[in-house]
Amino acid sequence: MIRTRGSKAAPVGVVMKVLKILEALQGNPSGLQLKEIAARTAINKSTAYRFLAHLQSQGYLYRDDAGAYVIGPKLARMGSGINLEETLRKISRSVLQKLWTATGETVNLAVLDGQQILYLDVIESSHTFRFASQIGARRPLHCTALGKAMLAHLPDQEIADLLPSLTFERMTPHTLTQPPKFKKELAKTRLQGFALDDEEAVLGARCIAAPIFDAGGKVIAGLSVSGPLTRISEEKVAPFAAIVRKAAQSVSRQLGYQQS
């Protein structure tokens, strides 16, 4: 009987240690290093590492370039989702930096928020003349490349349900305000794998965006490059689109997405 109780207690002890680790990370959405986790949970470093490595391999945790562990998208979706946006920022940051270096223009990370996009991260171009949104800002779906990139990859029924609620406000003379034309634009976006805002939100500005998918193949975010027409010329759209798509695919892979 003593051995039986011991055999039952061992798994419970493991579960409690894992829960302590998750609670520590939940309270620190920007992430914790291994030594910090061990100190906060009073768990031996080698034991904590084994748990962390397993949780990471299963997609429940993510380890950033600095070695800090954060709640992963899979676990965030199981809970309230509070840490999902922070996780996206952590996972995407190094990719955004590389995209910024490659293009020299403003790069953006955003998610869908009802009938708008919500900017989670922005790295502004170093050029004096630039176009940039603020982190936490919201903009319409219909006239932004980020909005179109994400909207185009939603399930057909979700698109059908959402389109009637859009106001299609005319932001510039180039804004698409007719639903039939907008639906054709979404079909084109889905086919080519990237979206283009060609002076539809702001005159003189061009933006190229691509979708980010989670492990289940659901579009959960998008990233983009934006700048003036004088620098993002028509000739640069194709090469910039290829770079943006590659960057978005890199983030998607880190989220566990496997393209078929």
Q: Quick one: pLDDT at residue 3? A: 42
Give the domain 84-254 fold.
Beta-Lactamase (3.30.450)
pLDDT band for position 77 (50/70/90)? Answer: low
Element at 228 (helix H, strand E):
strand 219-228
Residues 55 and 18 sit within 8 Å (Cβ to Cβ) = yes
* pLDDT for residue 220: 92
> What does the pLDDT look like over 152-161, one tens digit per residue?
999 999 898 8
C-alpha to C-alpha distances, 195 to 98, 182, 199, 213, nearest whole angstrom: 20, 12, 13, 15
The residues that bridge with 228 in the sheet, in sequence order, are: 205
Q: What crossing angle do the helices spanning 45-57 and 34-41 adopt, rounded to 10°?
A: 120
Amino acid present at 143? C
Where does the chain hold its CATH 1.10.10.10 domain(s)?
2-71
Average pLDDT score over residue span 244-259: 91
Dihedral through CA 178, CA 180, CA 186, CA 190, nearest 10?
Answer: -170
List, by residue range, all CATH 3.30.450.40 domains of the chain: 84-254
Q: Binning pLDDT at 50, 70 and 90, where does residue 75 land?
A: confident
Model confidence band, residue 17 (pLDDT cutoffs 50, 70, 90): confident
Mean pLDDT of the 219-245 span: 96
Rounded to the nearest 10 degrees, the angle between the axes of helix 45-57 and helix 2-26 is 70
pLDDT for residue 124 is more than 50: yes
- pTM metric for this prediction: 0.74
What is the predicted pLDDT for the residue at 1?
38
User: How much is the pLDDT for 239?
Assistant: 97
The model's confidence at residue 73, banded by pLDDT at 50, 70 and 90, is: low
**Mean of pLDDT values over 239-248:** 97
The predicted structure's pLDDT at residue 30: 74
CA atoms within 13 A on the CB side of 90: 24
Kindly state the average pLDDT of the residues 81-94. 78
Partners of residue 71 on adjacent β-strands: 61
Q: 2 pLDDT band (50/70/90 cuts)?
A: very low
Quickly tell me which residue has 């397993």 as its tokens: 54
Instruction: Please give the CATH topology (third level) of the domain spanning 2-71.
Output: Arc Repressor Mutant, subunit A (1.10.10)
Helix, strand and coil content of the chain, in percent to the nearest 5, comes to 50, 20, 35
First-to-final CA distance of the chain = 52
- Answer whether residue 79 shows pLDDT above 60: no
Reduced to 3 states, what is the DSSP secondary structure of residue 170? coil
Check residue 28 and give its pLDDT.
Answer: 79
Confidence category of residue 76, pLDDT binned at 50, 70, 90: low
Q: What is the mean pLDDT of the chain?
A: 87
pLDDT for the residue numbered 203: 95
What is the average per-residue pLDDT within 28-51?
A: 88
Q: What is the pLDDT of residue 165?
A: 87
Token reading at 70? 């954060």
